[in-house]
Structure 1
Amino acid sequence: MVWQRSRVRIDNDNRAFWTGGADGKLNIARCGDCGGFIHPPREICRHCLSENVAPFAVSGTGVVDTFTVNHQAWAKDMEVPFVIARVKLDDAPGVYLTTNIVGCPVDAVAIDDPVRVTFEEQDGIWYPLFEKIA
């Protein structure tokens, strides 16, 4: 996708998530006490209220939980159609990422398709996108 994505506001809680792609890592916040994953990232665990939360690199694989095909160009130079999907991560229970499925025709995407992360960098932010696993 070519268009300029909306710039996210980087803070101490989400920095590892938005910049991990530079190292090929999908970082999801994880509690060091209960092991629960927290997304969006927060400084306090939503499961046990511990402050022992740190980024954890997950495999970056998952499945398409649900999706829609967008046909509306919301911005100049936006290529349509494209897939907006919710991806359930394989090794981060309870974490679903809203993202785009890239690298295939929009009509080739189906619920339960296995996918893996790929990153698109814009202005120092590494957006996690997903592509189908053959």
Structure 2
Amino acid sequence: MSYQRPDLRLAPSPTSESAAFWTGGRNGELLISRCHACGHFFHPPGPACWRCRSTDVAPQKVSGRATVAAFTVDRQPWIPGFEPPYIVAIVELAEEPDVRLITNVVDVEPDDMNIGLEVEVFFEDWTALSGEEDTRVWIPLFRPVTH
């Protein structure tokens, strides 16, 4: 199965805290917030670490490797131009499994999808409406790791 980019995707409106996450894909980087005090990654991005409450946090590049923790196959046409079936998954980052992202997994047949599947990130470049202006974002999607 070869991935076909949808005609439409609901794009985010980045905030000052989430901008690095949504724009890191410009350079092929998945940027996840990391606490400099306790060393843990966390997502979604925020002004403080939820573990130790330190505000010494910043985005850091991760490998982009993850494991599928849960998924569903959506067969309902909810968004015109975003045709089913498609897979919505929760993936656990290789660097820290309790850091999870909700994403689409592509390039895999729905019947072949499984929990534990190793996946890697790639990015789709989109324009999002942010307030009164357009903002480019790079949405992280995942596909099976090819060994």
Instruction: Give the TM-score normalised by the residue count of structure 2.
Output: 0.87
Partner SS state of residue 111, structure 2: helix
Structure 2: how far apart are the matches of 1:127 and 1:54? 19
Structure 2: how far apart are the matches of 1:89 and 1:79? 27
Matched pairs, number: 134
Identity across the alignment (%): 40
Equivalent of 1:82, from 79, 83, 86? 86
Equivalent of 2:76, from 61, 72, 76? 72
RMSD across aligned C-alpha pairs, in angstroms? 1.1
CA deviation after TM superposition for structure 1 residue 113, in Å: 0.6
Structure 2: how far apart are the matches of 1:48 and 1:127? 29
State the AA in 2 paired with 1:60: G
Match of 2:31 in 1: 27
Equivalent of 1:97, from 77, 97, 101? 101
CA deviation after TM superposition for structure 1 residue 7, in Å: 2.6
| Contact 2:9-2:82 within 8 A present in 1 as well | no
Instruction: Give the TM-score normalised by the residue count of structure 1.
Output: 0.95
Structure 2: how far apart are the matches of 1:108 and 1:119? 22
- Structure 1: which 5+ residue stretches go unaligned? none
Structure 1: how far apart are the matches of 2:96 and 2:43? 10
